Amino acid sequence: MENTAGRAKSPESFGPGEPAKPLWIRRPLSSGTSGARLEETLERFGLYTVCGEAQCPNRGECWGQGTAAFMLMGKVCTRSCRFCAVASGKTGEPLRADQAEAVAAAAGELRLRHVVLTSVDRDDLDDRGASCYAAAVAALRRRIPGVRVEALVPDYRRDELAVMARAFPDVLAHNVETVRSLQHIRDGRASFDGSLETLKGAKEAGIPVTKSSLLLGLGEKREEVLAAMDELREAGVTSLVMGQYLRPGKRQIPVVEYLHPDTFACYAEEARARGFSRVISAPFARTSYHAAED
């Protein structure tokens, strides 16, 4: 099957352009000595991070602290969301037989105590990669006693969630990404209801902490954000992250609004009032940002 990784997406008219970036959006990307060591380790083990592939604005801070979100199953995603910078194609890259052990070895060398695992979507695989997550969780626990593992997974369903439940990560995260009315910015195979099904299924399977996130500044209304919070709580989600959408490049949709940090603080209060036990709400917040605090 044809692989379209790196190919420009069809041009679209996105309107008059973005508003000017306010001062609170500017952030240095320097990662210092710890970040350089992490990058060297990742390169030596042939591993990727979502921090780099998705151009996360926190990669300087996180790498500087020696933390990273390992991206499993290569760096070509079989979905094509309009806000995402990860390369996409009809099929992903060939799976590495030693991927789980490489992740565990790198995490051990970096002395990580909380490891985030995420992946590209792999609709071309029979189990969409759930067994790859399970193998990585097992390898990490064999090599690093007491390690905590967070799995940020695609929109897995019953059988795939059963595989994840047997691996038993400490946290299972899956992102609804945005409010109901803006779900069209995701790949057409994704939906708000589908994501809720994943989160409910993880909770029912016994995974103790479930987590999701919202990107803001895409044109959503306040009442839509609050409604999304309510539905996530009804699905049993205990940890919520809200951050500013930042356009990775010209191929992705533009920012509609830059929310003031005070607005993020107000949303955090609303989330806590709804019973979320862990809330991170700030312009640069992302799903795995300060993940160990969960």
H-run or E-run covering 250:
none
**Domains in the chain with CATH codes:** 30-293 (3.20.20.70)
Percentage of the residues of the chain whose pLDDT score is greater than 90:
70
CA distance 282 to 266: 10
Q: Give Dmax (Cα) for the chain.
A: 53
Stated pTM of the model: 0.87
Minimum mean pLDDT among 110-114, 117-121, 166-170, 217-221: which range? 110-114
Give strand pairing partners of 243: 215
**Rounded alpha-carbon distances, angstroms, from residue 206 to 58, 62, 160:** 31, 29, 14
Q: Which residues contact 173 (CB under 8 A, 6 or more apart)?
A: 150, 151, 152, 153, 210, 211, 212, 213, 239, 287, 288
Collapsing DSSP to helix, strand or coil, 114 comes out as strand
Sheet of 114-119, strands arranged across = 48-49, 69-72, 114-119, 148-152, 171-173, 209-216, 239-244, 278-281
Within 13 Å, how many C-alpha atoms sit on residue 91's CB side? 8
Q: How confident is the model at residue 3 (pLDDT cuts 50, 70, 90)?
A: very low
Mean pLDDT of 127-140: 98
- Tally the residues of the chain: 294
Q: Which residues contact 179 (CB under 8 A, 6 or more apart)?
A: 192, 214, 220, 221, 224, 225, 227, 228
> pLDDT value at position 4?
40
**pLDDT of 15 above 50:** no
Is the pLDDT confidence value at 207 over 70? yes
Lowest mean pLDDT, pick from 15-19, 30-34, 146-150: 30-34
Mean pLDDT computed over every residue of the chain: 87
206: pLDDT strictly greater than 80: yes
Task: Identify the pLDDT of residue 36.
Answer: 73
Strand (E) or helix (H) holding 184: none
- In this predicted structure, what is the pLDDT of residue 61? 57
pLDDT band at 40 (very low <50, low <70, confident <90, very high): confident
Residue 185: how many CB atoms within 10 A of its CB? Answer: 18
Cβ neighbours for 22, distance < 8 A, ≥ 6 positions apart: 258, 260
pLDDT at 292 over 60: no
Q: What's the number of CA atoms in the CB half-sphere (13 Å) around residue 273?
A: 7
Q: Mean pLDDT throughout 90-118? A: 94
Amino acid symbol at 23: L
Q: How far apart are CA 114 and CA 133, in angstroms?
A: 15
Out of 25-34, 51-60, 190-199, 266-275, which region has the weakest mean confidence (pLDDT)? 51-60
pLDDT at 279 over 50: yes
Give the pLDDT band of residue 10 (cuts 50, 70, 90).
very low
Question: Kind and range of the H or E element at 155?
Answer: none
